[in-house]
């Protein structure tokens, strides 16, 4: 399991012309294991998106212990990526396909003044949010729906049907945190949901419009796409029962 601050990276997935989290991980792991590796990640995160938990698997014949792997790779990694834990798994384990669900959080700093300690870690929103209307709207997202209206590019998926198990909005002073847990998410789905909730707070969209927007299957019907730097992959689940704890 790893965590990373996505500010300096063009997303997770390796690219030929940009630095990514995967590229840095593979370089450091290859050095520690003393052979080239390709890691398999549980998800793809966009440029600027962070991860509190990100699972990947790697195949190796090395006899290194799990503790040695954590210590060795962390010794090579930059300060904005960290290996949190490591365990041995069956050879057929797949970090992406064996994942039963994920939880994302989106952090918003609601104040006229910016927070200099959270510039790239929270979305700065200069006024108070209407949390009552946002919470009313959030209930419509829970359940199994076709989320094509909340997908920036659906051309590479076999289905746009996803299940959201919970969508909670929590307020701590000037900080608002939106937590979304589901079986999987489409491209930019969380950021579009958050952007739509912001539009609802501003009165541009009514909370009761959400069912109609879902049934429209039209991205233009939903709200804006929220900024990437407020988004975190928070938890990944490999046991279904843990999804509902």
27-44: pLDDT as tens digits: 999 999 999 999 999 999
- CATH, range 101-244: 3.30.70.660
Task: Provide the residue ranges of all domains of the chain, joining segments of one domain with +.
Answer: 2-83, 101-244
Rounded Cα gap, residues 120 and 154, in angstroms: 28
Identical fold between 2-83 and 101-244: yes
The confidence score (pLDDT) of residue 65 equals: 97
218 is annotated as an active-site residue? no
Catalytic residue among 46, 98, 153, 218: 46
Decide which of 3.40.190.10, 3.40.50.620, 3.40.50.300, 3.30.70.580 is the CATH code for 2-83. 3.30.70.580
Q: What pLDDT, in 10s, does the model give residues 205-244?
A: 999 999 999 999 999 999 999 999 999 999 999 998 888 8
């Amino acid at each position: 399991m790893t965590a990373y601050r996505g500010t300096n990276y063009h997303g997770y997935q390796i690219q030929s012309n940009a630095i990514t989290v995967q590229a840095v991980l593979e370089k450091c792991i290859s050095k520690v294991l003393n052979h080239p590796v390709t890691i398999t990640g549980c998800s793809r995160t966009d440029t600027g998106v962070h991860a509190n938990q990100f699972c990947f698997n790697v195949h190796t014949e090395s006899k290194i212990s799990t503790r040695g792997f954590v210590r060795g790779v962390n010794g090579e990694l930059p300060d904005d990526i960290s290996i949190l834990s490591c365990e041995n798994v069956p050879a057929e384990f797949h970090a992406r396909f064996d994942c039963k669900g994920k939880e994302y959080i989106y952090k918003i700093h609601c104040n006229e003044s910016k927070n200099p300690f959270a510039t790239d870690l929270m979305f700065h929103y200069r006024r108070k949010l209407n949390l009552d209307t946002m919470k009313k709207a959030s209930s419509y997202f829970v359940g199994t729906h076709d989320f094509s209206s909340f997908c920036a590019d659906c051309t590479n998926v076999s289905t746009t049907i996803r299940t959201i198990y919970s969508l909670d909005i929590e307020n701590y002073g000037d900080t608002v945190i939106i937590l979304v847990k589901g079986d999987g998410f489409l491209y930019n789905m969380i950021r579009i949901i958050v952007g739509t909730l912001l539009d609802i707070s501003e009165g541009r969209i009514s909370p009761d419009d959400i069912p109609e927007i879902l049934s429209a299957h039209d991205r233009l019907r939903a709200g804006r796409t929220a900024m990437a730097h407020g988004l975190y992959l928070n938890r990944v689940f490999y046991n279904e029962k843990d999804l509902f704890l």
